[in-house]
C-alpha cells in the first residue's frame, strides 16, 4: 500500500508543470470555478426551458425525452449540485416540485441498479439506476434539506417527505431480490414486480451496488430489510468469485453461474468494488474492507500491467481484452480512499494522457495500439476521471490534477457546448455530437469539477463545524464532513446513520455512562478509594431508569463481549470527546 504523502509531480512525469499559476493563491481556481458554475446553469436552464418534466434533455433539437421511467431524472440528479453551488432558493423550489410531481406507481420497467444509483451500461436496463439515482438522490436531498433552509418536519432526519419518497421507490425494487441466490434481477416493473419472462442474467455491478443507499435507508427508517438484502447480494457475489479471486461481468441470479467471465474493474463490475470500499467507510465495516482488499490483491496480480488494468479470464487470469474503458477512470479515486496514493497517481497519469490525446476519454481505448476501438469512440461527458482528480487533489495537492480540471472545462466548452446545453460527443476523432445530455453531467461531471476548484465547500468540511440536531432518539451531530458519495455523486452524511437508531443497547450504554458520571460527581473521593481497594466500580443502588433490570443486565453482558463500542464515532476516538445531554466529557474528566 502506498504512502498518503503528496506525490512530487516530477517524480511521476519528466516535464515541467504547465500550470504553476494554478495555485489557489493566484485566484485562477476561483475563475475556473465560476466557469464551471456557468456550465451548470447553461445546461440546467436549458433542461428546465426545453425538457422538463421529461427525464433528460436532447440538446441538438432543444426538447426532452424519457429514458428511465419519466421521473424528471435530471431534476433529481441535479438537486444536491444546486446546494453545493450555493443555490438555496432553487433547491427549495425543486424539492416542492418533486414532492408534487414524482409518482412511482406507474407501469414501467425500471433498472434496479440505476434507480438506486445509475448503471453506466445503458443496455442493462433501468433497475439499478432507479436505485442509485432516484433513491440515492432523494436520500441525499433529504439529509441536506435543513442545511438548504427547507422547513423540516418534527423528527427529521428520521422522517420527512423526501425520505418517504426514497423509501417508496426502494420498496418497488425489493421484489427483484426474491431469487434463490438473493442476487437481484436487473429489471423490475414498478407496478407489477418482476415480469415472468425477465432475463435472470445481471451484471455484477447491478448486484453489488446497493449497500450505501439501502443501509442509509434502513438506518433512517428503522426497517432492516433494505440493508439485509444488500448485504446478502454482496455476500453471494463474494462467494461466487473464482479460485484466483476474481469475479466475472454477468451472472445468472437464479443459478449463480457466471455467464460473462471477463474480469476487470470497468463496465458491469465497477461500482461493486466502489461500494465495498464506500460501504466499509460508511458503516465502519471491517469485513467489507477485507473483501475489497482481497479483490485488490487479485486485481493487481492478474489485471495490472504497467499501471494499466486489462480484462482477463476470471478463472485463468489470461488477457481477454487489452483495453482501457473510460468507466475505469474511477479507480485512482478509489485507490486514494484506501491510502494507495502512489499507484493511484501513476494510473491517473496514464488515463490523463488519453484525455490529452483526444480532448476526452473514449469509451474504449486499445492500449497496445494507443487508439480508440471501433464503435466505442464516443465520450458522453462522463465524470470518472474528474472524480479521481478531485479525490487525489484532496489527498495530495498535486497541481497536475488542477490541470486536468482546466483541460476538462476547456474541452467540454469547446467541443460539446451548443445552444441548448451540452451534447454527448459521438466520436472523439472528429468531434461529431449526439442528441443527448445525460443527467449525470449535472449530477457528477460538473459537481466534481466544481469541488476540485472549491476547497472551502461544505462538502470538504474537516469536522471544525457541525450542527446538533434533536431527534426522537436523542441528540445527533450532522454536517461535520466525511460525506460518502454514492456512485451517482449524491453525498450521504455518515453521521446521519446514527441519528435514528432504535437499538436498546445504545440506550442502556448511555444510562450506564450517566449513572457513572453522576456517581463520580457526588462521591469522587469515595469512588477513588473503592476502586483502589475493591476492584471495578459497580453502579450504586438507586432508582432504575425505565427499562427491565433483567434485560438490562443481559444487554450489558452482551455489550461487553463486543469489540467495537456501539457509541463510537468514525471521525474521532470515542474517548477523546463525548457529549451527553449537553455536557461534554474529555479524557481528563
Strands 424-427 and 421-422: unpaired
Are 278 and 288 within 8 A, CB to CB?
no
Asked if 137 and 79 touch (Cβ cutoff 8 Å), the reply is: yes
**Which entry of 80, 213, 270, 403 is annotated as an active-site residue?**
270
Alpha-helix runs per DSSP H in 102-194: 112-116, 127-129, 136-144, 161-173
φ, ψ for residue 49, nearest 5 deg: -75, -30
Question: What's the first-to-final CA gap in the chain, in angstroms?
Answer: 38
Report helix, strand and coil shares of the chain as percent, to nearest 5.
50, 15, 40
Cell triple for residue 339?
Answer: 491510502
Catalytic residue check, 363? yes
- List Cα–Cα distances, 153 to 54, 169, 491, in angstroms: 29, 21, 21
Active site residue: 363, 403, 407, 506, which one? Answer: 363
Residue 384 annotated to the active site: yes
CB atoms closer than 10 angstroms to residue 427: 16
The Cβ of residue 14 has, within 10 Å, a number of other Cβ atoms equal to 7
Beta bridge partners, 434, equal: 424
User: For this structure, is 387 an active site residue?
Assistant: no
- How do strand 201-203 and strand 250-252 relate by DSSP bridges? antiparallel
Which of 56, 262, 377, 384 is catalytic? The answer is 384
Adjacent-strand bridge partners of 366: 323, 371
Tell me the DSSP string of 304-364: EETTEE-EEETTT--EEE-EEEGGGGGHHHHHHHTT-HHHHHHHHHHHHHHHHHHTS--SE
Residues 6+ apart with CB under 8 A from 93: none
Catalytic residue, chosen from 90, 114, 407, 438, is 114
Residue 516 annotated as catalytic: no
- CA Rg value for the chain: 25
Q: How far is CA 207 from CA 67, 128, 179, 260, 361, in A?
A: 21, 8, 12, 14, 26
For residue 118, give the nearest of 514, 362, 442, 390 by alpha carbon: 442
CA angle 471, 212, 56 (to 5 degrees): 105
CA dist 359 and 414 (Å) reads 10
Point out the residues that are catalytic.
114, 270, 363, 384
Amino acid at each position: 500500500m502506498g504512502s498518503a504523502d503528496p506525490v512530487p509531480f516530477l517524480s511521476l512525469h519528466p516535464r515541467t508543470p504547465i500550470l504553476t499559476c494554478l495555485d489557489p493563491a493566484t485566484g485562477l481556481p476561483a475563475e475556473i470555478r465560476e466557469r464551471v458554475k456557468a456550465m451548470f446553469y447553461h445546461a440546467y436552464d436549458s433542461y428546465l426551458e426545453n425538457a422538463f418534466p421529461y427525464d433528460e434533455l436532447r440538446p441538438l433539437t432543444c426538447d426532452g425525452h424519457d429514458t428511465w421511467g419519466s421521473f424528471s431524472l435530471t431534476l433529481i440528479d441535479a438537486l444536491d449540485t444546486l446546494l453545493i453551488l450555493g443555490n438555496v432558493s432553487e433547491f427549495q423550489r425543486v424539492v416542492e416540485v418533486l414532492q408534487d410531481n414524482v409518482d412511482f406507481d406507474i407501469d414501467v420497467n425500471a433498472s434496479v441498479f440505476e434507480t438506486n444509483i445509475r448503471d453506466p451500461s445503458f443496455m442493462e436496463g433501468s433497475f439499478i439506476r432507479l436505485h442509485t439515482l432516484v433513491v440515492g438522490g432523494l436520500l441525499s436531498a433529504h439529509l441536506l434539506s435543513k442545511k438548504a433552509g427547507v422547513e423540516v418536519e418534527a423528527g427529521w432526519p428520521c422522517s420527512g417527505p423526501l425520505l418517504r419518497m426514497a423509501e417508496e421507490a426502494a420498496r418497488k425494487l425489493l421484489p427483484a431480490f426474491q431469487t434463490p441466490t438473493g442476487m437481484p434481477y436487473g429489471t423490475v416493473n414498478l407496478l407489477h414486480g418482476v415480469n415472468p419472462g425477465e432475463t435472470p442474467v445481471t451484471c455484477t455491478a447491478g448486484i453489488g451496488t446497493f449497500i450505501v443507499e439501502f443501509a442509509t435507508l434502513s438506518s433512517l427508517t428503522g426497517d432492516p430489510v433494505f440493508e439485509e438484502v444488500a448485504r446478502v447480494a454482496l455476500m453471494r457475489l463474494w462467494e461466487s468469485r473464482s479460485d484466483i479471486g476474481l469475479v466475472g461481468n454477468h451472472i445468472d441470479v437464479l443459478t449463480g453461474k457466471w455467464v460473462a467471465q471477463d474480469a476487470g474493474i470497468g463496465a458491469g463490475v465497477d461500482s461493486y468494488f466502489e461500494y465495498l470500499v464506500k460501504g466499509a467507510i460508511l458503516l465502519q465495516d471491517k469485513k467489507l474492507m477485507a473483501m475489497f482488499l482481497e479483490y485488490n490483491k487479485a486485481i493487481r496480480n492478474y489485471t495490472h500491467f504497467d499501471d494499466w488494468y486489462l480484462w482477463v479470464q476470471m478463472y485463468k487470469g489470461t488477457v481477454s481484452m487489452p483495453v482501457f474503458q473510460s468507466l475505469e477512470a474511477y479507480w485512482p479515486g478509489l485507490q486514494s480512499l484506501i491510502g494507495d496514493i502512489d499507484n493511484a497517481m501513476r494510473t491517473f497519469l496514464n488515463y490523463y494522457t488519453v484525455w490529452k490525446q483526444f480532448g476526452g476519454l473514449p469509451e474504449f481505448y486499445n492500449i497496445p495500439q494507443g487508439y480508440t476501438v471501433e464503435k466505442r469512440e464516443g465520450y458522453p461527458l462522463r465524470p470518472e476521471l474528474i472524480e479521481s482528480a478531485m479525490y487525489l487533489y484532496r489527498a495530495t495537492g498535486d497541481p497536475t490534477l488542477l490541470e486536468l480540471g482546466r483541460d476538462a472545462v476547456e474541452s467540454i466548452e469547446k467541443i460539446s457546448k451548443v445552444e441548448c446545453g451540452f451534447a454527448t460527443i459521438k466520436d472523439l476523432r472528429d468531434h461529431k455530437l449526439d442528441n443527448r445530455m445525460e443527467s449525470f453531467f449535472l449530477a457528477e461531471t460538473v459537481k466534481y469539477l466544481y469541488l476540485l476548484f472549491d476547497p472551502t465547500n461544505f462538502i470538504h468540511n474537516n469536522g471544525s463545524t457541525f450542527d446538533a440536531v434533536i431527534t426522537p432518539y436523542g441528540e445527533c451531530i450532522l454536517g461535520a464532513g466525511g460525506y460518502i458519495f454514492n456512485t451517482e455523486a449524491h453525498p450521504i452524511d455518515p453521521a446521519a446513520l446514527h441519528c435514528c437508531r432504535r437499538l436498546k443497547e445504545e440506550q442502556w450504554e448511555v444510562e450506564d455512562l450517566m449513572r457513572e458520571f453522576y456517581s463520580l460527581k457526588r462521591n469522587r473521593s469515595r469512588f477513588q478509594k473503592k476502586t483502589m481497594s475493591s476492584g471495578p466500580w459497580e453502579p450504586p443502588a438507586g432508582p432504575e431508569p425505565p427499562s427491565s433490570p433483567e434485560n438490562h443486565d443481559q444487554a450489558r453482558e452482551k455489550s461487553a463481549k463486543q469489540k467495537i463500542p456501539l457509541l463510537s464515532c468514525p471521525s474521532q476516538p470515542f474517548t477523546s470527546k463525548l457529549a451527553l445531554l449537553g455536557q461534554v466529557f474529555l479524557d481528563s474528566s
